[in-house]
Structure 1
Amino acid sequence: MSRLSARGLTLAYEDRVVVEDLDLAVPDGKVTVIVGPNACGKSTTLRALGRLLRPRSGSVVLDGEALSSLPTRRIAQAVGLLPQSPSAPEAITVADLVARGRQPHQHWWQQWSEADERAVVDAMARTSVSDLADRPVDALSGGQRQRVWIAMALAQDTDILLLDEPTTFLDIAHQVEVLDLVRRLNHERGRTVVAVLHDLNQAARYADHLVAMKSGRVVAEGPPSAIVTADLVHEVFGLDSIVIPDPITGSPLIVPTSPWTAPSGGCGTLRGELPDPPFHRSQGQP
């Protein structure tokens, strides 16, 4: 079953086609991760799933209806989206920004409720930004801002959550913290999550369903343990590697082949490094 899917989806920016004739069914109640090289169309696909980009052809379907035909409020109550480079109003505080995630659930006769308050407090606690509540968002570090944006998406309290590179700007500890949070939300609340990640090992570790894209098309999809092979990594990323079981989770772990080393018996030249120019004597110099 899939509440959210793409059917024959073609996406373009003016005359440049980025995704062509793509079919994708997002498994309900699972964590789906989309991976692929830069400019392969993964973020563009996510934008279309959240109705930030109108398809050139084909459609995105939510609960059996074309996304293009649904009211914006209804979509916002069902699908939360954290884009790749969100921007906040100048001088807005953390608490005020997170509270904006509740707008799809409010009405003209009831602007704020106890349910809104609980959702905001819970979202800020889960993303460890409660202590930043009164600080301006534009005064935060990149990692802090990213966690605040994730808190806003969580406060929206939707059944489907779309995250475009949610670990951007985060150090490794906070990357793991955010991805663990995504897994907990999926497990404890049954949320369907679709995330775009650059790190293939993190994707294989946290995904129930992995989608590998290249040149605007789906190359392979399924459980990471079933599809991640050295051949797939080479086909999608052009990287020679071996794939071994992660010693902690058992998920596929991609290990690139041997790095460059200096030839034995002398210093090597790094790729792209020019050798020292020859020494030329000046005129009249002995």
Structure 2
Amino acid sequence: MTVVSKADSSRLTTRKLTLAYEERTVVQELDLAIPDGEVTVIVGPNACGKSTTLRALGRLLRPRGGAVLLDGEELAKLPTKRIAQQIGLLPQTPVAPEAITVADLVARGRQPHQAWWKQWSEEDERAVVDAMERTDVAGLAHRSVDELSGGQRQRVWIAMALAQETDLLLLDEPTTYLDIAHQVEVLDLVRRLNRVRGRTVVIVLHDLNQAARYADHLVAMKTGRVVAEGPPAEVVTAELVREVFGLDSVVVPDPVTGSPLVVPGAPWGAERD
């Protein structure tokens, strides 16, 4: 498979990154460069290391070997506050404090920019209001997060990450537990943020067709290694789907976007219908 290097235009990279949980190695000597100003989507089968890699990119997991680099410096050696000012991370299943309101949760995104002598500013207020407006949750400001639907709650979490105003935004399965309408809503929002604000976004997704539709740069992983990366039109082929997912399929152009659309092979018994 073709591997496209974008290290020359990447603030966030990995160098021979090895990640493990206790004695189980999940990612082995991974070299990865996240293209600046683009939407990168990481796909792969369950337990392939994609979410583990994202956690390491956000310094939630310390490398067993190698390093994650931000602007050429090892992430593990940088001050936590500096990282929080540069990288926003939304984990797969974030948990809100009980009874917290939408406005209060979004405001927590400003904590990396505050200091003990300067707790809240007009700049903080502007960032929070802007984030809520862009995610269409301003009308929910005084409601408890516990009362919201799955789609509304996810938009609020994204608003908090946006209020952080980082150049790099990492999202781990942001469409989990959402119906198809809310999945599209969230991914359209992420795409707009990238296009309008120039944010560099990294998303982990299970749905290969959604990944192909929304990604500028697609990374396919298997057993802790990158199998292929590059534009979806070059990466998503029937051969790759078979190699990575073990699935026979036909890849056709999406009738709406022209991006690759994976159609699985005939289901069991279909040939007799």
- TM-score bracket for this pair, using the shorter chain length: over 0.9
Equivalent position amino acid for 1:23 in 2: D
Bigger Rg, structure 1 or 2: 1
- Aligned counterparts of 2:95 and 2:271: Cα–Cα separation in 1: 49
> Which segment drifts farther, 198-207 or 180-189?
180-189
Please state if 1:240 is matched with 2:240.
no
Which residue among 56, 65, 69 is the counterpart of 1:48? 56
Superposition deviation, residue 169 in structure 1? 2.2
Superposition deviation, residue 171 in structure 1? 1.9
TM-score, with length taken from structure 2:
0.94
Superposition deviation, residue 137 in structure 1? 1.6
TM-score, with length taken from structure 1:
0.90
- Which aligned pairs between 1:86-105 and structure 2 lie closer than 5 A? 86-105=94-113
- Aligned counterparts of 1:73 and 1:263: Cα–Cα separation in 2: 59
> Which segment drifts farther, 163-172 or 22-31?
163-172
SS in 2 for 1:17: strand
Residue matched to 2:6: none
Bigger relative contact order (CA 8 A; separation at least 6): 2
Superposition deviation, residue 262 in structure 1? 6.3
- Which aligned pairs between 1:88-237 and structure 2 lie closer than 5 A? 88-237=96-245
Residue matched to 1:85: 93
Residue matched to 2:20: 12
1:122-147 deviations in whole A, cap 9, x for unaligned?
21122222222112222323332222
1:172-224 deviations in whole A, cap 9, x for unaligned?
12211211111111111111000001110010011010000011110000000
> Which segment drifts farther, 109-118 or 214-223?
109-118
Superposition deviation, residue 264 in structure 1? 5.0
What fraction of aligned residue pairs are identical, expressed as a percent? 80
Structure 2 vs 1, CA of residues 169 and 263 (structure 1 numbering), >3 Å: closer, same or farther? Answer: closer
SS in 2 for 1:221: strand
Superposition deviation, residue 102 in structure 1? 0.6
- Aligned counterparts of 1:192 and 1:120: Cα–Cα separation in 2: 20
Which residue among 37, 53, 75 is the counterpart of 1:29? 37
- Aligned counterparts of 1:262 and 1:123: Cα–Cα separation in 2: 48
Equivalent position amino acid for 1:187 in 2: R
CA contact (8 A) 1:146 1:168 kept: no
- Aligned counterparts of 2:73 and 2:208: Cα–Cα separation in 1: 33
Gaps of 5+ in 1: 266-286
SS in 1 for 2:136: coil
Q: How many residues align?
A: 265
1:78-105 deviations in whole A, cap 9, x for unaligned?
0000011111112111110010001111
Equivalent position amino acid for 2:236 in 1: V
Gaps of 5+ in 2: 1-8
- Aligned counterparts of 1:141 and 1:227: Cα–Cα separation in 2: 35
1:59-83 deviations in whole A, cap 9, x for unaligned?
0000110001110111000000001
CA contact (8 A) 1:98 1:149 kept: yes
Residue matched to 1:63: 71
> Which segment drifts farther, 127-136 or 20-29?
127-136
